[in-house]
Amino acid sequence: MSTVAQPKRSDVAPAPEIFPHPGRRPARPAEDSFHIPPDGFGDTAPGTVLHARPVDVGFLGVLRQRVTAWQLLYRTTDPHGAPEVTTTTVLVPAAHDSANPRLLGYQCAINSSQRTCFPSYCLLQGARGPFANPQIELLLMAAALRQGWIVSVADHGGQPGRYVVARQPGYHVLDGLRATLAFSELRLPAGTAIGLWGYSGGGLASSWTVEMAPGYAPELNIVAAALGSPASDPSAILERTNGGVFAGLGMAAISALQDSYPALDSMLREHLSRKGAKIMMTVRGLSTGQAITRYALRNFDRYLDRPLAELMALPDIAAMSEDLRLGKVAPTCPVYLYTAVRDQLVGIAEVDRQAEFYLANGTDVTYRRDRLSEHLSLVVLGAPSALRWLTQRLEGMVPESGTSTVTSMLASPSALWTIAAISASAARVLAGRQL
DSSP one-letter string for 145-195: HHTT-EEEEE-TTTTTT--SSSSHHHHHHHHHHHHHHH-GGG---TT-EEE
C-alpha–C-alpha distance, residues 131 and 129, integer Å: 7
C-alpha–C-alpha distance, residues 400 and 402, integer Å: 7
Q: Tell whether 170 is covered by a domain.
A: yes
Residue at 236: amino acid letter: A
Residue ranges making up the domain that contains 52: 17-233+325-431
The pLDDT of residue 13: 74
- Collapsing DSSP to helix, strand or coil, 53 comes out as strand
329 close to 211: Cβ distance less than 8 angstroms = yes
The count of other CB atoms within 10 Å of the CB of residue 330 is 17
Residue 91: φ, ψ to 5°: -105, 130
Same domain, 190 and 280: no
Same domain, 166 and 262: no
Same domain, 229 and 260: no
β-strand partners of 51: 17, 73
Same domain, 222 and 250: no
Nearest Cα to Cα of residue 242 among 283, 290, 303, 201: 303
The pLDDT of residue 342: 95
The pLDDT of residue 75: 98
Same domain, 72 and 177: yes
The pLDDT of residue 10: 47
CA–CA distance from 223 to each of 46, 52, 213, 250 (Å)? 21, 27, 11, 33
CA–CA distance from 305 to each of 237, 265, 278 (Å)? 21, 15, 16
The pLDDT of residue 417: 62
C-alpha–C-alpha distance, residues 256 and 252, integer Å: 6
Same domain, 34 and 122: yes
The pLDDT of residue 136: 94
Same domain, 226 and 344: yes
C-alpha–C-alpha distance, residues 122 and 7, integer Å: 31
C-alpha–C-alpha distance, residues 48 and 72, integer Å: 9
Residue at 249: amino acid letter: L
370 close to 338: Cβ distance less than 8 angstroms = yes
β-strand partners of 150: 103
What digits encode the pLDDT tens for the residues 212-261?
Answer: 999 999 999 999 999 999 999 999 999 999 999 999 999 999 999 998 99
Q: Tell whether 307 is covered by a domain.
A: no
CA–CA distance from 186 to each of 37, 113, 139 (Å)? 22, 30, 23
Same domain, 99 and 152: yes
171 close to 216: Cβ distance less than 8 angstroms = yes
What is the mean pLDDT for each group of 10 consecutive residues in the chain (435 residues)?
Answer: 48 83 95 97 97 97 94 96 97 87 97 95 94 94 94 96 93 98 96 97 97 98 98 92 94 93 96 96 93 95 94 96 96 97 95 97 97 93 92 90 89 68 78 75
What digits encode the pLDDT tens for the residues 358-376?
Answer: 999 999 999 999 999 999 9
The pLDDT of residue 305: 95
Same domain, 25 and 158: yes
Same domain, 179 and 276: no
Q: Tell whether 205 is covered by a domain.
A: yes
The pLDDT of residue 435: 73
- The number of folded domains in the chain is 2
Q: Tell whether 305 is covered by a domain.
A: no
User: The CATH number of the domain where 134 resides is what?
Assistant: 3.40.50.1820
The pLDDT of residue 416: 66
C-alpha–C-alpha distance, residues 435 and 423, integer Å: 13
